[in-house]
Amino acid sequence: MTSLYSIPGCHVERVARSGSAQALLTVRSESVGAQCPSCKSRSTAPHSTYVRHPTDLLCAGRPVQLELRVRRFYCRNPECSRRTFTEPVSRLLAARARRTRRLATAQCAVGMTAGAEAGARLLKPLAMPASPDTLRKPPVLLRSHEYLGGGTPER
């Protein structure tokens, strides 16, 4: 059942039903460690875990709620000002986002095509509700070179 769902950069651990119509996916990052954003040293020393609950695109007509397990790591560099840091999940979510990039992009496309007010009315029966104000804001997207696997963008 977990093979039906594809979440970028994540491994689906469990699929369950939440309520009458919603799918609940428990997912975690596929990476072994993470890089400290301050000193850029790599760490595999886990500190703790916390859970985020972003909303994702529909699957088989059902809304999908993610239970994303995000890890914090110790920075082992003694000169670094950070003691702990969070593993990045930027391929899936923007910082502090409550919806995945995929859902935000789909909602934005409807909003740009139909307009914010009409888009909000259209998205409600499609089980992807968004307010007109949300549809007026473009989603935070990755730069094109991040989609292609990193590196420095050509200018």
Amino acid at 123: L
Closest CA to 9 of 73, 74, 66: 66
For 49, 66, 84, 87, the CA distances from 74, given in Å and listed in that order, are 12, 25, 4, 11
For residues 34 and 88, the answer to whether their CB atoms sit within 8 Å is yes
Other Cβ atoms closer than 10 A to 59: 14
Please state the rounded mean pLDDT for residues 24-51.
Answer: 92
Question: What pTM value is reported for the model?
Answer: 0.77
CA distance 38 to 29: 21
DSSP H/E element including 133: helix 132-136
What gap in Å lies between CA 80 and CA 93, rounded to an integer? 26
Over the stretch 34-47, which tens digit does the pLDDT of each residue have? 999 999 999 999 99
Per residue in 103-144, pLDDT (tens digit) is 998 998 899 899 999 999 999 988 889 999 988 887 665 444
Q: So where are the chain's domains? A: 1-93, 99-143
Residue 155 predicted with pLDDT over 80: no
The DSSP bridge pattern shows strands 46-52 and 55-59 to be unpaired
Indicate whether 147 pLDDT > 70: no
Judged by DSSP in three states, 2 sits in helix
What is the per-residue pLDDT for 20?
67
Across 92-101, average pLDDT: 87
Helix (H) or strand (E) holding 147: helix 144-147
**pLDDT averaged over every residue in the chain:** 84
Residue type, 113: T
